Amino acid sequence: MFTSVRRRAWFVMLPVGLVLAIASGGRALADSKVGALVSGSKAAGIQPPQCVEPTPYMRRHHMELILHQRDMTVHEGIRGNKHSLAGCIDCHVARGDDGKAVPVNAEGQFCDSCHDYVGVSLPCFQCHATVPTPASAHK
């Protein structure tokens, strides 16, 4: 009898423990400093550091914001919103020693550092520019 109660407890506690571990891991990433800023970017030069939204919020919700902006641009023709991918790239791209922009998806750069940390691919840049273009730069 005691053994069956213990087994049932494991069947309940194991899934609960897994859910808590996964949830706390996501929270830890949202609060971590991984890829927060890349030296040589506009974002690194802003004091105090600030984004269009608080950093923990951006870490958790940036993809939803980018997808929403994509829908607004494609379906309604609205461009230049503060959550545009071009705006992110313009602010977070680093400059190399030669003064040229380093692609945001290059190893160790802004997008790559977080996405590599969590093991997520970056398909955005199969189509989108990885460095600012004159048309995408904020005015």
How confident is the model over 9-48, as pLDDT tens digits?
545 554 544 444 444 444 444 444 455 678 888 888 887 7
> Three-class SS of residue 74?
helix
Asked if pLDDT for residue 130 goes beyond 90, the answer is: yes
Contact criterion met (CB below 8 Å) for 49 and 127: no
> Three-class SS of residue 22?
helix
Work out the angle at residue 102's Cα, subtended by the Cα atoms of residues 124 and 61, and round it to the nearest 5 degrees. 40
> Which residues, listed in sequence order, are joined to residue 51 by a DSSP beta bridge?
none
Q: What is the pLDDT of residues 46-88, one digit of tens each?
A: 877 778 999 889 989 999 999 999 999 999 988 877 888 888 9
Work out the angle at residue 132's Cα, subtended by the Cα atoms of residues 130 and 135, and round it to the nearest 5 degrees. 125
Count of CB atoms situated within 10 Å of the CB of 57: 13
